[in-house]
């Protein structure tokens, strides 16, 4: 992980929510850990509403420090982290201001990273302004999601950015790919012989991927109301997780080998016939409810949300993959805001044994199940049946547990930290290539179009529940249920 070359990390949207909660805390953690960032590496924050560096440092102390490190702030490391930060005041609407940035960066050694923690409407103007002052050479650009609103707008951004930066310079970030258990899933699948023979239609009955949140739309009502859960979570995070679960073993872990295999999965997704959307996709919107004892308001009354909004805050969708490995195996993807729990997990349900000499309980589907918990409590569990102690042959479910924090006491890394280090060090494997992104948009578009034109309201669900009943009914048709509904 050692960085031997210098860098300048330019942060557009330097006072935004993402910079405050994720990017600057992740850079601080990398700095504090020591040896991950070159000593000479600098962070140049760009913002419009802040007067100068001193005012920016005040802002960082006030707003970023509270988000730093669960284990408290190391004041010495924090002070030296602040020394890395410089500031340039730029009005992004004024391309001439970019000469100030060019001057601030001139004569610096090492790679330049431009992180665009801004809305997608600014991606192209910023790239053009960077090119106009010659800053697109020897540099990398990081684009946050959402990249566009649909296939057409995403292509328009990619075309325009592609005229200025080569594909190898473009890092499209999907922070789910940086989560430790996702990396571990790769290690589990491709570092062991145990799973690979079972990882196919003959032995797998169904797969569930859930990203459930307790949070609502927070201060992002306006953005979210124009986006919805399908664009915010399914097109990117959930389809990326699905492609990692379903991909063939890559020939190596280099960036294009991994991304080629993920792309094959995305291209093999069975297109959804618009007439079937009601059967394979459920959309919901939360109403008022109670989460962990506190009343929470309905989505439609959140600030920035239109009172008659039809935007979905919940999606459950059945996906099929048309290839030899996965034909006929349903993948159920689900995400929602204001659900009963905050949990992200992948559940691989293996088939029941073909014949049981041990009684009916061994014939139950789901007796063997691999649960990869991405958050909270990152673990991988393999469920098996075992004999209960005592007389007779009574079976009970037990699990083998890979609890990362027990096995590896140190070195856990937040997703953003890993991904920012990857950008600085030029590792593209965990970033989304343009063709992957296009394939994902292509697959979700019939659903987007149908929902936009049908003009039917999403199904209501009370905040603090697991979403509309239709999501459970969809699985029941396949003789299965969501993991939390077991027993």
Backbone angles phi, psi at 462, to 5 degrees: -75, 135
Least distance (Å) from ligand BG6 to the CB of residue 220?
7
CA-angle at 422, arms to 419 and 426, nearest 5°: 145
Backbone angles phi, psi at 295, to 5 degrees: -75, 135
Q: Is 185 annotated as a binding residue?
A: no
Q: Is 91 annotated as a binding residue?
A: yes
Mapped onto helix, strand or coil, the DSSP state of residue 395 is strand
Nearer to ligand BG6, 135 or 173 (CB): 173
Nearer to ligand BG6, 344 or 424 (CB): 344
Residue number with the smallest Cβ distance to ligand BG6: 232
Nearer to ligand BG6, 344 or 372 (CB): 344
Task: Give me 402's structure tokens.
Answer: 């890979």
Least distance (Å) from ligand BG6 to the CB of residue 446?
22
Least distance (Å) from ligand BG6 to the CB of residue 445?
19
Least distance (Å) from ligand BG6 to the CB of residue 133?
31
Reported as half-sphere exposure (CB side, CA atoms, 13 A), residue 184 has a value of 22
Q: Could you tell me whether strands 343-350 and 204-212 are parallel, antiparallel, or unpaired per DSSP bridges? A: antiparallel
DSSP for 292-320 reads: TTEEE--GGGSTTS-TT----SEEEEEE-
Nearer to ligand BG6, 145 or 334 (CB): 145
End-to-end Cα distance, the chain = 45
Helix 75-84, helix 24-33: angle, nearest 10: 120
Rounded alpha-carbon distances, angstroms, from residue 419 to 22, 82, 217: 11, 21, 25
Q: How far apart are CA 473 and CA 332, in angstroms?
A: 12
Q: Is 145 annotated as a binding residue?
A: yes
- Sign of the Cα torsion 335, 341, 345, 348 reads negative
DSSP classification of residue 178? G
Nearer to ligand BG6, 190 or 223 (CB): 223
DSSP classification of residue 292? T
The residues annotated with a catalytic role in the active site are: 237
Least distance (Å) from ligand BG6 to the CB of residue 299?
13
Q: How far apart are CA 245 and CA 374, in angstroms?
A: 13
Least distance (Å) from ligand BG6 to the CB of residue 9?
21
Strand partners, 33: none
DSSP classification of residue 145? S
Q: Is 232 annotated as a binding residue?
A: yes
Q: How far apart are CA 252 and CA 258, in angstroms?
A: 7
Mapped onto helix, strand or coil, the DSSP state of residue 333 is strand
Residue identified by tokens 């440092």 is 57
Residue identified by tokens 């199940």 is 369
Least distance (Å) from ligand BG6 to the CB of residue 182?
11
Contact 44, 115 (CB under 8 A): no
Rounded alpha-carbon distances, angstroms, from residue 292 to 341, 345, 477: 9, 21, 31
Least distance (Å) from ligand BG6 to the CB of residue 216?
10
Nearer to ligand BG6, 18 or 352 (CB): 18
Nearer to ligand BG6, 29 or 213 (CB): 213
Helix boundaries (H) for 90-194:
98-105, 123-132, 151-162, 180-191
Q: Is 48 annotated as a binding residue?
A: yes
Residue ranges in contact with ligand BG6 by CB under 6 A: 145, 175, 213, 232, 344
CA-angle at 244, arms to 229 and 385, nearest 5°: 100
Nearer to ligand BG6, 31 or 175 (CB): 175
DSSP classification of residue 122? G
- Residue list, annotated binding site for substrate: 175, 179, 213, 232, 337
Query: Which residue numbers belong to the known binding site?
Result: 48, 91-92, 145, 175, 179, 213, 232, 337
């Amino acid at each position: 992980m050692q960085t031997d070359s210098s860098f300048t990390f330019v942060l557009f949207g330097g006072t935004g929510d993402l910079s405050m909660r994720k990017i600057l805390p992740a850079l601080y953690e990398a700095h504090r850990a020591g040896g991950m960032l070159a000593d000479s590496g600098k962070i140049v924050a760009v913002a419009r509403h802040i007067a100068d560096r001193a005012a920016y440092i005040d802002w960082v102390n006030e707003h970023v420090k509270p988000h730093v490190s669960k284990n408290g702030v190391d004041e010495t490391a924090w002070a030296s982290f602040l020394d890395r930060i410089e500031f340039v005041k730029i009005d992004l609407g004024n391309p001439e201001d970019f000469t100030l940035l060019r001057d601030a960066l001139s004569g610096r050694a090492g790679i330049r990273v431009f992180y665009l923690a801004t809305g997608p409407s600014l991606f192209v103007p910023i790239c053009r302004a960077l090119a106009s002052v010659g800053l697109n050479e020897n540099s990398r650009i990081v684009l946050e999601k959402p990249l566009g609103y649909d296939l057409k707008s995403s292509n328009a951004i990619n075309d325009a950015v592609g005229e200025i930066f080569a594909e190898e310079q473009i890092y499209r970030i999907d922070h789910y790919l940086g989560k430790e258990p996702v990396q571990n899933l790769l290690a589990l699948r491709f570092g062991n012989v145990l799973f690979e023979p079972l990882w196919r239609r003959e032995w797998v009955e169904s797969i569930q991927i859930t990203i459930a949140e307790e949070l609502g739309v927070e201060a992002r009502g306006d953005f979210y109301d124009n986006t919805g859960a399908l664009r915010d979570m399914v097109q990117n995070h959930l389809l990326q997780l699905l492609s990692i679960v379903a991909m063939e073993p890559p020939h190596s872990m280099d960036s294009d080998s991994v991304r080629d295999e993920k792309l094959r999965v995305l291209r093999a997704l069975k297109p959804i016939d618009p007439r079937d959307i009601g059967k394979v996709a459920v959309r919901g919107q939360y109403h008022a409810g109670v989460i962990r004892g506190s009343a929470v308001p309905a989505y439609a009354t959140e600030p920035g949300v239109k009172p008659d909004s039809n935007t979905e805050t919940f999606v459950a969708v059945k996906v099929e993959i048309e290839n030899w490995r996965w034909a006929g195996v349903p993948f159920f993807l689900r995400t929602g805001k204001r659900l009963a729990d905050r949990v992200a997990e992948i559940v691989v349900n293996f088939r029941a044994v073909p014949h049981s000499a041990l009684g009916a309980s061994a014939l139950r589907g789901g007796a063997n199940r691999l649960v990869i918990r991405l958050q909270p409590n990152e673990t991988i569990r393999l469920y098996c049946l075992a004999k209960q102690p005592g007389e007779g042959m009574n079976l009970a479910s037990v699990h083998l547990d890979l609890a990362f924090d027990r096995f590896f006491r140190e070195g856990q890394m937040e997703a953003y930290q890993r991904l920012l280090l990857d950008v600085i060090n030029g590792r593209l494997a965990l970033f989304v290539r343009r063709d992957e992104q296009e394939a994902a948009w292509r697959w979700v578009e019939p659903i987007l179009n149908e929902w936009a034109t049908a003009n039917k309201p999403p199904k209501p669900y009370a905040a603090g529940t697991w979403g509309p009943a239709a999501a459970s009914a969809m699985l029941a048709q396949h003789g299965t249920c969501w993991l939390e509904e077991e027993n």
